[in-house]
Amino acid sequence: MTQTLEPYTDSALIAKVKKGDERAFAQLVKRYEQTVWGFAFKLCRNQEKAEESFQDTFINVFRKIDQFDARSKFSTWLYTIVANNCLMHHRKRKLEGLLESLDDAPDPENPEVQKQLAAWDDSPIDTMMNKELREQMDAAIQELPDEYKVVFVLRDLEDKTAEETAKILKLSVPAVKSRLRRSRIFLRHKLHGIMAA
């Protein structure tokens, strides 16, 4: 009877993969495919690109498994590979100036700012998710430079801590916090038109 590999820890599976065990690799893929797919899709916002990233990530894992030294968690390594794939594939956009300007606190006496700070619709938020809003959300997140988007996705959508995010992206914790703040405010501003009461 074939022994199930499900109870094996990541380290035990990785040790087997390093020795060329194909079943152990398949088990690792099974264990992490949704994580990699979900993260790739949230970053790419495009099924075709997410599939490409999914393939590239696991092929990289297969090719470079000997380089994984187990000092960090396997999932951290996986997130780093997906993020690097995403950052490599996309061109840099010049929104840095705009994002930096979001550091300035809004002047509440400025009528334009008051319009921007108007409270959002109080309707139950789950009932508001429609095609128009989804399109707006897609457009907004696509406008964010990848270096910011990846921080927003890791911190807010994948629920990683600032420290974990910093480790995955090889950034300092203050850099993670600053990029997260700018990303959230940028996205909030982009959705304001459709969400304001």
DSSP 132-182: HHHHHHHHHHHHS-HHHHHHHIIIIIS---HHHHHHHHT--HHHHHHHHHH
Q: By C-beta, is 72 or 125 nearer to another protein?
A: 125
Residue 159, classified by CB atoms within 10 Å of its CB into exposed (0-12), middle (13-18) or buried (19+), is: exposed
Binding segment (CB under 8 A) for another protein, from list 2-10, 59-67, 73-81, 88-96:
59-67
Residue selected from 8, 10, 15, 29 as contacting another protein according to rule CB under 8 A: 29
> Tokens 């790419």 appear where?
44
Among 93, 117, 135, 142, binds another protein (CB under 8 A): 117
Taking the least distance from each CB to another protein, the nearer of 151 and 169 is 151
65 binds another protein (CB under 8 A): no
**With contact defined as beta carbons under 8 Å apart, do 73 and 163 qualify?**
no
- In this chain, which of 65, 120, 143, 175 binds another protein, going by CB under 8 A? 120
CA–CA gap between residue 8 and residue 5 (Å, rounded): 6
125 binds another protein (CB under 8 A): yes
Binding-site member from 12, 70, 98, 157 for another protein (CB under 8 A) = 157
23 binds another protein (CB under 8 A): no
Residue 149 burial class via C-beta count within 10 angstroms: exposed 0-12, middle 13-18, buried 19 and up = buried
CB of 50 vs another protein, minimal distance in Å: 8
Evaluate whether 40 touches 53 at the Cβ level (below 8 Å).
yes
Concatenate the DSSP letters of all residues of 28-49 into one string: HHHHHHHHHHHHHHHHH-SHHH
Q: Which residues bind another protein (CB under 8 A)?
A: 22, 25-26, 29, 33-34, 37-38, 41-42, 47, 51, 54-55, 58-59, 62-63, 103, 105-106, 108-109, 111, 114, 117-120, 125-126, 128-129, 133-134, 137, 141, 152, 156-157, 177, 180-181, 184-185, 187-188, 191-192, 195
